Structure 1
Amino acid sequence: MLSIPPQQEPPDGGLQAWLVMIASFFCNGILFGTINSSGVIFAALKDDLEANGVENPASKASFCLSLTIGMTFLMSLVSGVLTDKLGVRLTTGIGGAIATAGLFISSLVYHKIEYLTISYGLLLGFGGSLAYTPSLVILGHYFRRRMGIVNGFVTAGSSLFTIVMPMLFEYILRLYSLKVLFQILAAIVSLLMVCAFIFKPRLAVRPREGALPGDAGAAASSRTLKNQFKKFVSQFINFEIWRNKRFVIWTLCIPIALFGYFVPYVHLVSKAMKNILTPSYVT
């Protein structure tokens, strides 16, 4: 939890604040531009798997890409805990390094869907998650009054990159191959580590109490295994917020709303190529 003494109020401006905003813009853009361009990669990967005689290429390719998307959001809990424990900078840097490594390894094993599922699906997704959460957390260190417009600018990065990156992907695939595409993506994603250096935290992190809310009077009797386990878990998870009904409803509704949200991003390009268009990267 963030403790904000009066002398550490967010500045709502200044060179460092605007640099943080731009870095967060690029984090969102790079991560979600890549995810939202999955349809182009899916079409190329499916054709490559078919050419290599892999059974059920569409299912295996879509599972690999869907795993990337799922890991990015599923690991947000881990990312939040690590952001509290390790800090914004280190968590973002580790995430960028893992995602970059995953993409570079993908360029070496793109013919092997089993390995690609690990490198692209798991490593890129996990690394992206570690970089994404801190890119939003850091905004609270520098902005309060202007948080609305800053959030809007940062999240617009995903929209802008989603427009540009599919065209870039198709251009690369038309001239080269998936191997080169993954290598170029690795170079782009490595910029997340540059963003990590810009994310200089300003606010102190207040450690959570070792006991659950309402357990202060039971401190003397907390030597049982059960209470010690609760104390340990409460260092990582804020149980108090789950007593807020509105938060619980919101938390449950968002995943439900997103359940089918990314399906078109993966399959729409292939569907269009099959029924309407000619794949530009094979012409």
Structure 2
Amino acid sequence: METPAGSTEVLQAQSPWTPAEGGFKGWLTVAASFVIQGLILGINFSYSVIYVELQRILDKDGVAETSYKTSLVGSLSLGTTFAFSILAGILNDLFSYRTTTIIGGCFCLVGMFSSSFLIHYVEALYFTYGILFGIGAALCFNPSLVVLGLHFKKRIGLVCGIVSAGSSIFTFWLPPALGAMIPAIGLDWTLRVVSFLMILIIVASFTFNVPDGANEGSERKKFELSKFLNKENWKRKKFVIWTICIPIALFGYFVPFVHMMKFISVNFPSEDGKIPLMCIGIASAVGRVAFGFISDYDRINRVMLQQFAIFSIGVLTMLLAAANPWVYIILIALGIGIFDGCYFSMIGPIAFDLCGPKGASQAIGFVSGLSAFSVTLGPTIAGKLFEMYNSYTVPFLVAGAPLILGACGMFTIILVCWLY
């Protein structure tokens, strides 16, 4: 007997697809995403090690304004990673998470490998390290986070925390590894070794399988830009406010990450500048898993958790300007790491909360893309301010202000929750 027309849709409405909450494929995807985020963000967050050596090379070559130009290379990489997250969100819906990540891995490999031949040409590094690697990182970061929603729902906070801890773990061991390789084999061969690691991204992306019944990219046959731009997200007041506050806060967010090594070499020349970065990395890993786990409780407001984390990083960044003795630097680095873990582990869950599973990919893409200008400009301006004042007091004070401002702006999201 024939089934009535539309019966399939009725059955689907009665029994909607839900994630399996794990399984072998689900946890394999978590492991792959952990490695991918660890590589792309760990390299970005460890740039201050490369910064010191690259500036030394440029100074030796007689290049002017080396602090500013060296900062710009790392800032462009971070900024491009954020800017092209918008494209990554659209490509996820147009093709697949796996395809987008493979393309991104190829960009990362080419960008990093070509940079190894251009360490004496900072303008070329703007393109190879800043743009090419940044595009690749964006195309890897977005799908490695959103794909988790195909396998988890109730534990989405925990798994996002575990995956985002990848960048923290890699930030813990990459600075000493890079610091050991650079004197031994030079910056050029160090970048080549890093480029070979990008192959792991391509391999890991093959685990990004779509579970049976999931509707990832179900309507891809005819490309219409308006069709793939999720307009429903922009009708959600809380999401719009979130996309305004986060870019404001991120203006100063990455200044400590980019400038930490230089700051230590100026203020504490006898100390190892890699130690605070390692402290940030390990504390961030703990924070990501811990806050991810905590956020899965029903009564926990994830927006407020992220708001508190941003505010705290702003205060700690300002305190960094006057921190003395050395033990205070370590304590501040641990604090920044813990709250950095909270901030990053909340990105995915908040996107799912505000926009739902269908809108999460582009929600993450757009909030990241709109932050690109801030992420690029913040560390670069900090480098310029250091050249003007020959001190990190003003740069760190300026960096902390937008973090506090953005956090205060997030009270509006809570107000909208109360009003509506």
TM-score w.r.t. length of structure 2: 0.59
The yes-or-no answer on 1:111 pairing with 2:123 is no
| 1:179 is the counterpart of 2:188 | yes
What does residue 74 of structure 1 align with?
83
Name the amino acid aligned to 1:207: E
2:159 to 147, 150, 166: 150
Partner residue of 2:51 out of 27, 42, 58: 42
1:46–1:193 Cα change, 3 Å: same
SS of corresponding position for 1:121 = helix
Other-structure match for 1:132: 141
Cα distance in 2 between the residues matched to 1:261 and 1:245: 24
- CA distance in 2: counterparts of 1:194 and 1:78, whole angstroms: 22
Q: CA RMSD in A?
A: 2.2
SS of 2:124's equivalent in the other structure is helix
Partner of 2:206: 197
| Aligned pairs, number | 258
Task: Name stretches of at least 5 consecutive residues in structure 2 with no aligned partner.
Answer: 1-8, 274-420
Counterpart Cα distance in 2 of 1:258 and 1:56: 24
- C-alpha spacing 1:278/1:113, structure 2 compared with 1 (3 Å): farther
Contact 1:174/1:280, CA 8 A, preserved across alignment: no
CA contact (8 A) 1:170 1:280 kept: no
SS at match of 1:15: helix
Distance 2:272 2:62 in 1: 22
Counterparts of residues 129-278 of structure 1 (less than 5 Å):
129-202=138-211, 203-204=214-215, 205-207=217-219, 232-277=224-269
Whether the 8 Å contact between 1:46 and 1:57 is mirrored in structure 2 is yes
| Alpha-carbon offset, residue 280 of structure 1 | 7.2
Maintained 8 Å contact 2:85/2:138:
yes
Cα separation, partners in 2 of 1:276 and 1:159, compared to 1, 3 Å: same
Change (3 A) 1:53 1:164: same
Aligned-pair distance for 1:65? 0.9
- What aligned pairs does 1:7-86 form with structure 2 within 5 A after superposition? 8-86=17-95
Following the alignment from structure 1 to structure 2, what is the Cα–Cα distance between the partners of residues 33 and 278? 26
- Highest RCO, 1 vs 2 (Cα 8 Å, sep ≥ 6): 1
Q: CA offsets per residue over residues 20-39 of structure 1, 9 Å max, x none?
A: 00111111111111111111
1:94 aligns with 2:103: yes
> Alpha-carbon deviation of 1:8?
4.5
In 1, the alpha carbon distance for the partners of 2:270 and 2:83 equals 35
Q: Distance in 2 between matches of 1:19 and 1:195?
A: 9
Query: Equivalent residue of 1:235, what SS?
Result: helix
Which digits, 9 at most, give the CA deviation of each residue in 1:66-122, with x for residues without a partner? 000000011111110011112100100000000111000001111111111110000
Q: After TM superposition, what 4+ stretches of structure 1 lie above 6 angstroms from structure 2?
A: none
State the Cα distance separating 1:128 from its structure 2 match.
Answer: 0.2
The answer to whether the 8 A contact 2:38-2:170 is kept is yes
Q: Which runs of 5+ in 1 are unaligned?
A: 211-230
